[in-house]
Structure 1
Amino acid sequence: MARQLGHSHGAVRNAVLTLVRRGEADQSGFGQPSFGANPRTAAAAQAAVISPPGTHAPRAQAATARTTIPAAAAPRRTGPIRRAGGQLYHPRELADLPDVEALNRLRDADVPVLLYGPPGTGKTSLVEAAFPDLLTVAGDGDTTVGDLIGEYTQADSGGYVFQYGPLVTAMTEGRALLIDDATLISPMVLAALYPAMDGRRQIQVKAHKGETIKAEKGFYVIAGHNPNVHGAILTEALSSRFSVQIQVGTDYDLALALRIDARIVRVARNLANQVDLGELGWAPQLRELLSYQRTEAVLGTNAALANLIGIAPSEDRDAVADAVITATGIKKIAPLTLGKQIAASAARQPPGSPGPAHRGRSR
């Protein structure tokens, strides 16, 4: 339909979806659905129905509104933001703006962003809070071009259908796309992404009849990079595609505000300083501190401390244990470990009941 009409894939798809919502066309299947006419389609074609003002995509409205507001006069969203999964995100300052607002301004201006920093510092959380329409690709060494663009999959009927990937979906629907751990993906695979990000704003799906996919307004790419993860390589080709690169670290003041044990926050801050000096390779980030808080609430302080030491890399574990022992005053803490087996008969006895030998003498 797109080729015959001479319009973009996304524009035609949106028009057909509008017909489906009005009951003037039928849809079957998901991912790459099929559309068909129904008894109401012919009547719908007799006259064009123009959507009234204010009913277009909210993303386009928001972009227009924000870019006309001077930075100094823009509203500052400082309160917690609920992410799609229900978790709260607490905005941080970036370029004299709340970070979520800064990212939205960069999206409006189509300036790709690379977020870099240790795992667990909140890179993904920030992107999810900023862009509710987000699609995510979790990158690793096994990520293929098909994982980005799409590939043929077997249908229930036994035949094969082409299933579009998240890159095509984000382009045709004008959505944000996060390439998480982008530097773990092969440069040859990432090259499939670049034509969508530059002035061409389109890609060619060679696996699907050479189809050309054009990016709709609102399409935006953001990437995450963990510099210290084994195998993560920030190539010049990848770096040059992201005009803005933002370092993300743990906000220890936020950790205190979230009522995480101040002693453990102090330990994490001191270990992070050692990492900056090159003396250590690991320090607890906000993710580990929140995990500590949850574990402490369930299993108690000693178990939470033991677990914090246990999740540290083996080469840094002794230094982490020493820091925790110094901060808490507990003389000995070892990684959380299973102990000896609990006897089944003893486990069933109430406290203070006579043991098996005593019962035998009483008989």
Structure 2
Amino acid sequence: MTTVPTASTTAPTSASTSASTSATAPPAAPASAGAGRLGQGELRRKVAAILADHPGASFSPGEIARMLDRSAGAVGNALTTLADRKQAKLVSTGPRRYRATFTTADAVKGGSSSRTARRAAAPAPKTQPAPKAEPAPTPSTSGKDGNAADGPVVRPNGQTYHPRRLADLPDVAALRRLREASIPAMLYGPPGTGKTSLVEAAFPDLITVAGDGDTAVADFVGEYTQAPGGGYEFVYGPLVTAMTEGRALLIDDATLISPKVLAVVYPAMDGRRQITVKAHKGETITAKDGFYVVAGHNPGVHGAVLTEALASRFAAQIQVSTDYELASKLDIHPRAVRVARNLARRQSSGEIGWSPQLRELINFQKIAGVLGPEAAVANLLGVAPEEDRDVVAEVVSGVYGRAVTPLALGQQI
């Protein structure tokens, strides 16, 4: 039996901070203590305040979480909401980094538009169920429509994704077919290879949980938060939202999340397609058609552990590596691509543990356009891990025909 999510004003016995809160409480300062509950929308306003106070700077969810002493998963959800409302801008992925927009200050104040959006998104009471919006249709991948994803795909953040081949299909179309067949997929590979970009391009209705060691069950199912008029209400998390709205859920960096926390997702992925929200009266949530789970895994990242229980839930496991041909098509400097290819071969042989991925090459091109090619080359060496830097310096110097040192400040002007 499907139970429609409801909001309750019953005070909980315990609660933690959630990013899925509304902007209705007074503005908050960016500083925060780790202990204690936050009012509705307060975490999102604190996150927005940090962005607004540092215009032009970009932050990852983890960096802001450490500044606020809060859960990185909750902060990640808050940043996703701000980006959806155009009150923050996603400037890079893997790790995701955000910066302020000209409307970020509105999020700090918490205007009526945020209040209205929260009310519209709130689950309807059991006695008066409201129809939920149907998820964005998944494009067909059969017949003529199967080639619809051959060309570039625009992601929700406006950036362009260039599909690659997967099982004789564009990767975007292949993922959509897996979703239609209810076959969960895990994408694995080094950071910066485009795993998150692929998933965002494939599923316009995507909801993301940014995983790390601090991600808690509440970051998936939700928790009680203090209501503006007093008392408490239960605000549902991204897992419940994806289930009740039939949407795709990306668990990014899934292998950084505690196995005990991830276990909350497993019943939704198997034949039961249900979870029990123990924190909210033990209610049962049943997934609607269209609900789909995809995960991201960075094998080389410290602390990433792919358990047997997690791996067994994802029947399709797809390796994602950098497409150096695409890098060339994007007009990235040929010598930078040559450096990356050389280092990738050494990495595959086990000589080093790092090589530039597509993200680093795109950043190379951006820096070259702003500071010049010499600075971009020096920065490419500087981003290499210290344990691999000697080999990277050797390769870079060989390709560019001169000694290269990491980008650094020089003498006083």
Q: Distance in 2 between matches of 1:201 and 1:8?
A: 13
**Residues 16-31 of structure 1 aligned to structure 2 (within 5 Å):** 29-30=118-119
What amino acid is the match of 1:263? R
1:83-141 CA distance string (max 9 Å, x none): 01111000000000000000000000000000000000000000000000000011001
Asked if residue 222 in structure 1 is aligned to residue 311 in structure 2, the reply is no
What amino acid is the match of 1:139? G
Q: Distance in 1 between matches of 2:389 and 2:118?
A: 51
Q: Distance in 2 between matches of 1:153 and 1:336?
A: 46
Q: Distance in 2 between matches of 1:9 and 1:139?
A: 27
Q: Distance in 2 between matches of 1:131 and 1:141?
A: 26
Q: Distance in 2 between matches of 1:335 and 1:128?
A: 34
Structure 1 vs Structure 2 CA RMSD: 2.4
Give how far 1:157 is off. 2.1
TM (norm. structure 1) is 0.78
**Residues 115-130 of structure 1 aligned to structure 2 (within 5 Å):** 115-130=187-202
Q: Distance in 1 between matches of 2:273 and 2:294?
A: 15
1:166-203 CA distance string (max 9 Å, x none): 00000011100000000000000000000000000010
**Does the 8 A contact of 1:252 with 1:286 survive in 2?**
yes
Structure number, greater radius of gyration: 1
Q: Structure 1 residues 193, 34: closer, same or farther in 2, change over 3 A? A: closer
Q: Distance in 2 between matches of 1:177 and 1:341?
A: 51
Runs of 4+ in 1 over 3 A off after TM superposition: 27-32, 56-60
Asked if residue 284 in structure 1 is aligned to residue 356 in structure 2, the reply is yes
Asked if residue 174 in structure 1 is aligned to residue 246 in structure 2, the reply is yes
**Residues 57-96 of structure 1 aligned to structure 2 (within 5 Å):** 57=134, 59=136, 62=138, 66=141, 69=142, 74-96=146-168
**Does the 8 A contact of 2:2 with 2:286 survive in 1?**
no
Q: Distance in 2 between matches of 1:187 and 1:160?
A: 29
Partner of 1:302, secondary structure, is helix
Equivalent residue, structure 2, for 1:48: none
Partner of 2:363, secondary structure, is helix
Asked if residue 255 in structure 1 is aligned to residue 331 in structure 2, the reply is no
Q: Distance in 2 between matches of 1:28 and 1:223?
A: 28
Q: Distance in 1 between matches of 2:252 and 2:2?
A: 32
**Does the 8 A contact of 1:135 with 1:166 survive in 2?**
yes
Q: Which has the higher contact order (CA 8 A, sep 6+)?
A: 2
Q: Distance in 1 between matches of 2:147 and 2:392?
A: 42
Asked if residue 213 in structure 1 is aligned to residue 285 in structure 2, the reply is yes
**Residues 191-202 of structure 1 aligned to structure 2 (within 5 Å):** 191-202=263-274
Equivalent residue, structure 1, for 2:383: 311
Give how far 1:29 is off. 4.1
Structure 1 residues not aligned, in runs of 5+: 1-5, 12-26, 46-50, 343-363
Q: Distance in 1 between matches of 2:288 and 2:182?
A: 12
**Does the 8 A contact of 2:379 with 2:406 survive in 1?**
yes
What amino acid is the match of 1:225? H
Q: Distance in 2 between matches of 1:143 and 1:35?
A: 27
Equivalent residue, structure 2, for 1:151: 223
Equivalent residue, structure 2, for 1:136: 208
Which of 359, 362, 370 pairs up with 1:298? 370
Partner of 1:333, secondary structure, is coil
Give how far 1:31 is off. 8.0
What amino acid is the match of 1:251? D
Structure 2 residues not aligned, in runs of 5+: 7-115
Partner of 2:387, secondary structure, is helix
Asked if residue 338 in structure 1 is aligned to residue 371 in structure 2, the reply is no
**Does the 8 A contact of 2:256 with 2:305 survive in 1?**
yes
Partner of 1:102, secondary structure, is helix
Asked if residue 111 in structure 1 is aligned to residue 180 in structure 2, the reply is no
Give how far 1:8 is off. 4.3
Alignment length, in residue pairs? 300
**Does the 8 A contact of 1:184 with 1:231 survive in 2?**
yes
**Residues 26-37 of structure 1 aligned to structure 2 (within 5 Å):** 29-30=118-119, 33=122
Q: Structure 1 residues 235, 291: closer, same or farther in 2, change over 3 A? A: same
What amino acid is the match of 1:319? V
Partner of 2:295, secondary structure, is strand
1:276-301 CA distance string (max 9 Å, x none): 11010000000000000000000001
Q: Distance in 2 between matches of 1:107 and 1:92?
A: 18
TM (norm. structure 2) is 0.69
Equivalent residue, structure 1, for 2:19: none
Q: Distance in 2 between matches of 1:28 and 1:100?
A: 30
Asked if residue 269 in structure 1 is aligned to residue 358 in structure 2, the reply is no
Partner of 1:152, secondary structure, is strand
**Does the 8 A contact of 2:378 with 2:405 survive in 1?**
yes
**Mean alpha-carbon deviation: is it higher for 95-104 or for 159-168?**
159-168
Q: Distance in 2 between matches of 1:304 and 1:117?
A: 25
Give how far 1:7 is off. 5.2
Q: Distance in 2 between matches of 1:190 and 1:176?
A: 16
Partner of 2:147, secondary structure, is coil
1:136-159 CA distance string (max 9 Å, x none): 011001100001111111222232
Give how far 1:34 is off. 6.6
Q: Structure 1 residues 303, 321: closer, same or farther in 2, change over 3 A? A: same
Give how far 1:333 is off. 1.6
